[in-house]
Amino acid sequence: MNTTPTRSLSSIMDGNSFQATNLGLLPSNEQALIRRRMAALGTSYRLFYRTPVHADRAEGCYLFTPDGTRYLDAYNNVASVGHANQRVIDAVGLQMGKLNTHTRYLQDGIVEHSEQLLATFPEYLNSVMYTNSGSEANDLAIRVARLWTGGEGLVVTAEAYHGTTELLSRVSPAISGGFPEDPSVRVIAAPDTYRVETNDMGAWFAAQVREAFEDLLAHGIKPAAFLADSIFSSDGIFPNPVGYLRPAIEVCHEYGALFIADEVQPGFGRTGDTFWGFERHGVEADLVSMGKPMGNGIPVAALVGRTEILDRFGTEVPYFNTFGGNSVSIAAANAVLSFIQETGLQSQVATVGASLRDAISTITSDAAFVGDVRGSGLYIGVEIVTDRDSKSPDGGRALAIVNDLRDRGVLISVAGPGNNVLKIRPPLVFGTSEVALFSDRFADTIAAAGNA
């Protein structure tokens, strides 16, 4: 592992990555494969873990290596309705045999799915545009917000990550080295409910947002948007208390800016409480981007918004996305949404998530290096600290825990500016037997970490 700077790359990027210096730890066939991979794919392609997981097949919440070793997946939110979900496989297979083309032809599927998707939103969010990734959706959202408001100014949190395009690099401080100076962007402190000393997180966070908008105005920059993921995943996972986001969104609207809810992480029932993360806080979003779990791995993403806002963009700026909303991506999205709705998955997530959080809290109650266990539904963060008084992030120990757990057959990773928050974010089909298995292994890992 590299030495950890105060603000290091978050786990989205680099925190938990394999180092070539460890190549010798691996069996020779994996060494050979990694060498070929490094030759063809280059330095952007980091692998997870001190010793990477060689993935061959997966089912439900389990990944298997070529030799049959099983891993419990407590990390992947893309396969939200489970790896190799039969309903998604069938829907994609059926549609591929029939038609897979773009949106310039009239097709029934996209209209039906759009209506079903929009029905999950409050009535004022009544129009949708499709893209291939959450990144394309967020990039589009900013363009739409800037056109609508006539402003350029954007506000994001300290460790925000909103995607891969050039524009999104400007609102993604999590990528440190790749985060350019941009006079129209303001970075505010995250609502770190573990460390910020306040009795009123809502007022405190709203004050940060206000200060950022005032500073934009003071520099002659009109505000366009406050862009945030309502569980602040890359900042370290801060979902609670419910409602604390409301004053910040009121401030955003007071300044004439749009609130872009980045639902790539909290959307599609992940939090258990509501289908969309922003609803949990009782706020109005003007634009809502979504991605990762939408097609269970088939690339599909979307931007939902008020009709008048999206129509203004659609009228003034030609936009066509070749694969966006194509027949097969829509079929996958439709299978995922129908599965979630018909199996009552969101309420299962609430129940299972609560029991997983309880188990983790119990297991870690005596561990002085565990400062906080928090989360909502199946998105859980566990703060690894040097001690409970100083609350200093202990990224080294967090990574050791992640790797130890991997060696015991359970996959998680880290989040937060210090790479010290265990990120536990399994497929939504995680059940009681998976909670039991996770708890068993996690207890061993925490015990081992305490003795280390």
420 binds a copy of itself (CB under 8 A): no
Q: What is the DSSP letter of 391?
A: -
Which of 3, 6, 28, 105 contacts a copy of itself by CB under 8 A?
105
| Between 104 and 366, CB nearer to a copy of itself | 104
Q: What is the bridge-based pairing of β-strands 379-384 and 370-376?
A: antiparallel
Q: Does 190 bind a copy of itself (CB under 8 A)?
A: no
User: Which of residues 199 and 315 has its CB atom nearest to a copy of itself in the complex?
Assistant: 315
Give the whole-angstrom CA distance, residue 261 versus residue 277: 8
CA–CA separation, 194 and 108 (whole Å): 48
Q: Among 81, 142, 145, 154, which residue sits at the site for a copy of itself (rule: CB under 8 A)? A: 142
Choice from 62, 72, 83, 439 touching a copy of itself (CB under 8 A): 83
338 lies in the binding site for a copy of itself (CB under 8 A): no
What is the C-alpha to C-alpha distance for residues 8 and 16, in angstroms, rounded to an integer?
A: 11
313 or 339: whose CB is closer to a copy of itself?
313
Question: From the list 108, 181, 197, 342, which residue makes contact with a copy of itself (rule: CB under 8 A)?
Answer: 108
Which of these ranges, 294-302, 338-346, 350-358, 441-449, lies near a copy of itself under the rule CB under 8 A?
A: 294-302
Contacts within 8 Å (CB) and 24+ apart, 109-114: 109/327, 109/330, 109/331, 109/334, 110/325, 110/327, 110/330, 112/334, 113/330, 113/333, 113/334, 113/337
Selected binder of a copy of itself within 22, 23, 165, 207 (CB under 8 A): 165
Give the number of other CB atoms < 10 A from CB of residue 359. 18
In the range 378-417, which residues lie near a copy of itself by CB under 8 A?
none
CB 357 within 8 A of CB 128: no
Considering only 61, 167, 340, 401, the residue that binds a copy of itself (CB under 8 A) is 167
Cα separation of 393 and 372, whole Å? 11
Among 164, 341, 343, 355, binds a copy of itself (CB under 8 A): 164
Of residues 231-260, those binding a copy of itself (CB under 8 A): none
Cis ω for the linkage preceding 417 (within 30 of 0): no
Site string for a copy of itself, 30-49 (x = CB under 8 A): x--xx-xx-xxxxxxxxxx-
Question: Which tokens hold the place of 142?
Answer: 């900013």
Q: Interface with a copy of itself includes 102 (CB under 8 A)?
A: yes
Q: Does 215 bind a copy of itself (CB under 8 A)?
A: no
Burial 263-284 (b: 16+ CB within 10 A, else e): bbbbbbbbbbbbbbbbbbbebb
Closest separation between CB of residue 335 and a copy of itself, Å? 11
In the complex, least distance from residue 435 CB atom to a copy of itself, rounded to whole angstroms: 22
Taking CB under 8 A as the binding criterion, the range among 174-182, 189-197, 203-211, 255-263 that sits at the site for a copy of itself is: 174-182
Q: Name the packing angle between helices 327-342 and 108-118 (round to 10°).
A: 40
**Cα end-to-end span (Å), the chain:** 17
* Number of residues located near a copy of itself, criterion CB under 8 A: 105
